[in-house]
Structure 1
């Protein structure tokens, strides 16, 4: 992604809500994630999006060196019972300048369905085909 010119930001080393994470563990996770990204890209990340968008007072203090980014659209793509067509329609309605759309590539996270990412990939493929046909 970096080689394609994408900006890489932090989410955290472990996908744990900041509502329940012990502050030193949050600090360790941010530092560890930063180190991994810097090792791979040669640059420190500047953006941070907390898991589930959860903050607490320690989040603001510990992540202050990063610019916090929150989504404009979260599609519920971690649930398998949301059909490919429903995800496709949600994606289409989310497309606008400056949109930050949360998409998930893993069904292994707490609360996610194992096969849910397959639906998102299919919905994305449909969207890309439709957008390409418009050109």
Structure 2
């Protein structure tokens, strides 16, 4: 049974406004994050990045670039281990280590959390609440991984984006995903007439810090 009050999870924005929330998981990655930041800057877009603690520790320069670009930076996990394979104590430690690693680099405590694989357990949500994190999933994935991560497939799913969507993409893990295809498809989408009728925001514009 889930503890009372712990299933307050954001999955999408309001469809009444032409606003879309681009989110990127699993970074930073020195091969894919910098060109993605250049692309977002070109279109003056603020996005949200859910980062891995071990990648933050390895590439703090790119975390600082995210912050300097005005992007929201949230916790994904420390190692990307599947939460269901961890003990409750290990699951809590994943959040704590990522939280403090990220805070040490940026100088500010993070406020957003997306669990690895989009999976969670009571201990995870309890720890997120203790750290005053808002848990955010997504309602539209471009599926930029595995055999489905083709340029044509990603482009088709991006073109289906609707107002209020929280869109899941990746800027790392090239062993499992295809960030290069994501960025090619994203550039094509941002050039489209449909994209010009939308506005793009970081999730901080959608979510207020929990009290």
Does TM-score exceed 0.5, indicating one fold?
A: yes
Runs of 5+ consecutive residues of structure 2 not aligned to the other structure: 1-65, 198-211
* 2: CA distance, partners of 1:27 / 1:134: 41
Root mean square deviation of aligned Cα:
2.2
> C-alpha separation between the residues in 1 aligned to 2:97 and 2:166?
24
1:44 aligns with 2:109: yes
Supply the distance in 1 between the matched residues of 2:73 and 2:104 (Cα, whole angstroms): 12
Cα distance in 1, alignment partners of residues 72 and 85 from structure 2? 28
Which of 125, 134, 151 is the equivalent residue of 1:67? 134
Alpha-carbon distance between aligned partners in 1 of 2:147 and 2:171, rounded to the nearest angstrom: 13
Q: In the alignment, which residue of structure 1 is the partner of 2:189?
A: 127
Q: Which residue of 2 aligns with 1:118?
A: 180
Contact 1:10 1:49 in 2 (8 A): yes
What's 1:89 paired with?
A: 156
Correspondence 1:26 to 2:91: yes
Deviates more, 1:85-94 or 1:45-54: 85-94
Gaps of 5+ in 1: none
Aligned residues of 1:80 and 1:119 also touching (Cα < 8 A) = no
1:17 pairs with 66, 82, 90, which one? Answer: 82
Q: 1:126 Cα shift?
A: 1.0
1:8, 1:45 within 8 Å by CA — same for their partners in 2? yes
Q: Is the 8 A contact 1:78 1:107 kept in 2?
A: no
Tell me the CA shift for residue 52 of structure 1. Answer: 1.2
Name the SS for the 1:19 alignment partner.
helix
1:26 to 1:49, Cα distance in 2 relative to 1, 3 A: same
1:102 and 2:168 correspond: yes
Q: How many residue pairs end up in the alignment? A: 130
Higher strand fraction: Structure 1 or Structure 2? 2
TM-score (norm 2): 0.55
String of CA shifts for 1:79-117, please: whole Å, max 9, x gaps.
2443212211211212423x21111122356xx25xx22
Query: 2:77 is paired with a residue of what secondary structure?
Result: coil
- After superposing on structure 2, the runs of 4+ consecutive aligned residues of structure 1 that deviate more than 6 Å are none
